[in-house]
A and B are shown apart, each in its own frame.
Chain A
Amino acid sequence: MWIIKMKISKSWRYFFFFILLMVSVVWLAVVYSPSPALKIVNCDVGQGDAAIVIYKTTQIVIDGGPNNEILECISNHIPFWDRSIEMVILSHPQKDHFQGLIEVVKRFDVANFLGTELDSSTPDYRVLKELLKQKDVAVVNPRSGMKLRVGMIYLDIVWPQSEFLAQYTEEIKNQGNEEQEGQGNEIPKNKKTGVLGAFTSKRDPNDFSVVVIVKYGDFQALFTGDIGPEINNQLSVNPLIKNLEYIKVPHHGSKNGLTEKLLKAVNPSVAVISAGKGNSYGHPHEEVIKLLRDKEIKILRTDEMGDVQVETDGQKIFIKN
């Protein structure tokens, strides 16, 4: 008799435990739901670039860093139940910008992948390209002038220009992307038929970096990849780049990056530098820091602060660290 009694009470105990777990999942989901503001996190991934732009359940990942540390950053800033990322932007195919994206694409439902056709000979980039194909992710090839909307976040692409690509790249033939041939370097009519790795160039890949303005309300942030001084100066005359609130300083704060002209045009109140602690390149360089200090711009560095978190309601900027 007592055996039956014990059995019942035991299965009841399991049942209560099960209910308790369900309740705690719901409770945690509520606790970890995102606040109704735009949040930009520059992840501390060591020497490299990785950022997440979050608005409610919409996320845009801009670059993935040189390792898998972006995964921890995502875990810390995106609710556990949200396993989809609306857009991934790869500025240019160098390891310190794309490596972490392999695991991101593997583990999350990525809706769109924005990246240029510029190829990289590293085997790991091939892994990323094959993974995107295998998971059937829509690829978009950005061109300056392109305007995109992801949820409530608006994106203006300001680099690379079609003319620049036409001048400095060569198309790789016989790659099985015949549908692209003959279209030249024009923006494809259907934006979602982009390809990756169709071009090569003798120029520094940094100068092909995707540069994008992220807009929410009156707030505008400029993400610059690794663009060098020449491109900086070209961009400084772009009418879209005028008095933006936020800049991700190009090329980890290298002197081979931000120029005074661009800084003058952007005129930001906040500048974020993504560099690794004690990196061998000496990034960020003293010249760049001085440039920013002289203009009394608030400098936020991942090598000093860890993940740099900035929030905005579309008007004001709040630094969350």
Chain B
Amino acid sequence: MNKLIWVILFLGLLLRIGIYHQTQLSYPNGTKIRISDRVTSEPVRYPESQYFRLQGLKIYLPLYPEVSYGDRLVVEGEVDGEKLKKAKLITLTSSRGQLFGFRKKIIAFYQSALPADHAALVAGVTIGSKSGISTEFWEKLKRSGTAHVVVASGMNVTLVGKFLVSFFIYFFSRKRAVLLALAGIWFYSIISGFDAPIVRAAIMGSVAFTAIEAGRLSNAWRALFLSAAVMLFLRPDWISDYGFLLSFAATASILAFEKKIKTRLKSVPSIIREDLSTTLAAQIGVVPIFLYGFGQFNLMAPIYNVMVLWTIVPMTMIGMFAGIMGVIFEPVGKLVLLLSYPLTSWFTIVISNFHFPINFQLYNLLINWRLETGICGLSR
């Protein structure tokens, strides 16, 4: 019976993706079109341009006026394969949504309180904002295999959920506290850009928190598949999104291998055992995708990760707390945020100055051309 439900669910999903791709509008090259749409993910800011997608088309616009996640745009241009050539901004209506405004304010607050790279790192780990990351800093993150820290994901959801439950429990019944925490998790995931990884984490987190409340054992695997199904049903185009694929591959291989690896690493000092086994487990699922998608992978990534991962949880906590304080009363928020500076400094020093005598870059030569064709830009 149970199996039957899964099979039906799976077939339904295939049907949905199939229909989506069948009905996807496509225009011949050279067609002049005008798109009017809301920006559903954060634009990437390059030194000379900003990049985002509308209706599945890649659009590059001049750096200013600045386009933000949530804005409504009217853009004109010529279809050229996946790209919209000669893109021209006709109108930009800033979203009046409170949530988008709140996100913008927090990012501006980080940028006004810390040096550029440090602010970008804090904004990345706390709310998954990548628009402030400079090209060089992004290169360093990618090269060292630590770019995943600037993605709001499971750790953030767990932190937010746990904090909210333990906060609301003082005022409400347990049931209400959990419900409020769930609302908080979704509120947070919208602020964090609603990209594939945070949506996955929010769905899995919701399942886990609800299960705890219902007194049932939550099965992480089931939660993982459920969230994949729900997400692909709502956004079939995510099937080819690297954020989506990496997030699921990493989570699945952590679920599958972390415990086994940890028991093998008994001789490793306990202080790094946790981070090392998580990283190594995640690599198993992630490496093939990296090789296929980016044609490149640093074998030293686990070592970089072990050196910097311990800073991420305190950095996120300080960033979240200071961000909220900063929006209410800036000077206090700035003081609190300064506490993250030693952590961000350590992180940047490690990934920019720490070089192994041999930096093992594993290349998949056959598909290395993808690097040049710009697919790496997608990962942001």
Contact = CB atoms under 8 A, between A and B. Distances in A.
Interface string A305-320: 0000000000000000
B31 interface: no
A124 B63 contact: yes
A281 interface: no
B123 to A, nearest CB: 12
Interface stretch (A68-76, A178-186, A208-216): A68-76
Nearest to B345: A28
A22 B335 CA distance: 10
A315 to B, nearest CB: 32
Contact of B134 (A21, A71, A83, A124): A71
Given A75-B115, A124-B63, A106 B108 contact: yes
Nearest 5 Cβ contacts at the A-B interface: A75-B115, A24-B342, A71-B116, A67-B47, A127-B64
B87 interface: no
Contacts of A67: 47-48
Interface residues of A, number: 25
A176 interface: no
Given A67-B47, A72-B117, A107-B111, A123 B339 contact: no
B47 A21 contact: no
B118 interface: yes
B270 to A, nearest CB: 14
A124 B112 contact: no
A309 to B, nearest CB: 18
B341 A28 contact: yes
Interface of B: 47-48, 62-65, 108, 111-119, 134, 136, 314, 334, 338-339, 341-343, 345
A124 to B, nearest CB: 5
A102 B338 CA distance: 24
A72 B134 contact: yes
Contact of B343 (A21, A83, A99): A21
Contacts of A148: none
Contact of A102 (B64, B113, B115): B64
Contacts of B62: 123-124
Contacts of B112: 83, 106-108
B262 to A, nearest CB: 20
Interface in A248-276: none
Contacts of B117: 72, 75
Nearest to B63: A124
Contacts, number: 62
Given A68-B47, A127-B64, A83 B113 contact: yes
Contacts of B343: 21
A139 B102 CA distance: 30
A127 B338 contact: no
Given A67-B48, A80-B118, A106-B111, A127 B65 contact: yes
Contacts of A12: none
Contacts of A127: 64-65
Interface in A1-31: 17-18, 21-22, 24-25, 28
Contact of A123 (B47, B65, B113): B65
A75 B314 CA distance: 23
A68 B342 contact: no
Contacts of B134: 68-69, 71-72
8 contacts: A21-B339, A67-B47, A67-B48, A68-B116, A75-B116, A80-B118, A81-B338, A123-B65
Between B64, B118, B339, B343, the greatest number of chain A beta carbons within 10 A of the residue's beta carbon is seen for B64
Interface string A81-121: 10100000000000000010010001110000000000000
A118 B343 CA distance: 45
A69 B48 CA distance: 11
Contacts of A24: 342
A17 B47 CA distance: 38
A17 B117 CA distance: 23
Nearest to B117: A75
B64 A80 contact: no
